[in-house]
Structure 1
Amino acid sequence: MADTKIGVLSCSGEECLGGTISRLATRKMMEKLRVGKTVTLCLPLYLAGGEGERSFAKAYPVITVDGCSKCCAKRATEKYSGKVSDTLVVSDILGEHAALSKVVSSKDLKNEHYQMVDKVADEICKKFDKILYEKGENK
C-alpha cells in the first residue's frame, strides 16, 4: 500500500450487541484480515476532543462502523472532521433484533455471535478494498 492510510472508527456502545460486534469486527479486520494496512480511531477520545483522532479523520479516508441506527460514530466524524468515506451499520447487516439484543460482554458470546463478527468484518473489508480500488491501489 503506497501512502494511503485508512482509519476505522467503530461504535463504543455498551448497551447492545451491535456495539460489541462492531468493535470485535473492527479488531478482526485490523489484526487478521488487513494486517498493517489500517488504523483504528478511538470514538471516546474523538468525542472528548482528541486532536490526533480528528486530524487523522480530516486528512485520510475513514470508515465508520456503527452498532445501531443512531450512527454515533458517523455523526461524530462528520461533525468534527467532515464526510466519512464509507459507513457500515451493524443493525442493517444483522437485523435490528440481533444488533439491539442485550448480550454485550465478549465473555458471554457464543459461536453464533462470532459468526456475526466474521460477517461484519468481511463487510468492513469490502468497504476498505473499495476505497483502495478507487484510489488505484490493490490490497
Structure 2
Amino acid sequence: MADLKIGVLSCSGEECLGGTISRLATRKMLEELRPGQTVTLCLPLYLAGGEEERFFAKAFPVITVDGCSKCCAKRATEKYSGKVSDIVDVSEILGNDVALDKTVSTKDMTSQHMEMVDKVAKVICEKFDKIAENK
C-alpha cells in the first residue's frame, strides 16, 4: 500500500460554502491525513483538457468531493476518464442548507467551519481506506 496513489478531485464551486469545504478537506487529505498517498487533481485544469489529470483519473482510483448535489467533479471525471471509485457529497454530510450557504473566504473561516472541514475530511479518509484495503 505504500506506493498506492489515490486521486482526490474536489469541487471548484466558488458560489457556496460546500465548495470551500470540499477544497479545504481535500487539501487536508493531501497535506495532513494521507500525505504521500493522495494526489489532488485540479478540476478547472481537468475540464480544460489537462491530459495528465485525465490520465491519472483513468489509471488510478479517484474520489470526487463535491460541494453540492450537482456533483460537477463526479460528472466531469466520469465524462473524461471513466467511473470514479467513490464520491463525497458535502451536502449529504452537512445538509443542503449549510452546503449551499453563502461563500466564506478562507481567511474568515470560523472554528465551526473548520469542524465541518474535519467532518468531511474524515468521510474522505474512510472512503480512501476502503479503496486502499481492496487494492
Shorter-chain TM-score category?
A: over 0.9
Quick check: 1:75 aligned with 2:75?
yes
Query: What are structure 1's unaligned runs of at least 5 residues?
Result: none
Q: Which residue of 2 aligns with 1:115?
A: 115
What amino acid is the match of 1:35? P
Q: By how many angstroms is 1:35 displaced?
A: 1.2
Q: Which residue of 2 aligns with 1:105?
A: 105
Q: By how many angstroms is 1:123 displaced?
A: 0.5
Q: By how many angstroms is 1:104 displaced?
A: 2.6
Detail structure 1 runs of 4+ shifted over 4 Å in the superposition: none
What amino acid is the match of 2:64? T
Q: Could you give the per-residue CA deviations for residues 3-28 of structure 1, whole angstroms, max 9, x where no partner exists?
A: 42110000000000000000000001
Q: Which residue of 2 aligns with 1:54?
A: 54
CA RMSD after TM alignment? 0.8
- Give the Cα–Cα distance (whole angstroms) in 1 for the partners of residues 87 and 119 of structure 2: 15
What amino acid is the match of 2:34? R
Task: Determine what percentage of the aligned residue pairs are the same residue.
Answer: 78
- Give the Cα–Cα distance (whole angstroms) in 2 for the partners of residues 103 and 20 of structure 1: 7
- Give the Cα–Cα distance (whole angstroms) in 2 for the partners of residues 104 and 53 of structure 1: 28
User: Equivalences for 1:36-51 in 2 at 5 Å?
Assistant: 36-51=36-51
Q: Could you give the per-residue CA deviations for residues 71-103 of structure 1, whole angstroms, max 9, x where no partner exists?
A: 000000000000000000000000001010003
Q: Which residue of 2 aligns with 1:84?
A: 84
What amino acid is the match of 1:16? C
TM-score, normalised by the number of residues in structure 2: 0.97
TM-score, normalised by the number of residues in structure 1: 0.95
User: Equivalences for 1:24-39 in 2 at 5 Å?
Assistant: 24-39=24-39
Question: SS where residue 36 of structure 1 aligns?
Answer: coil
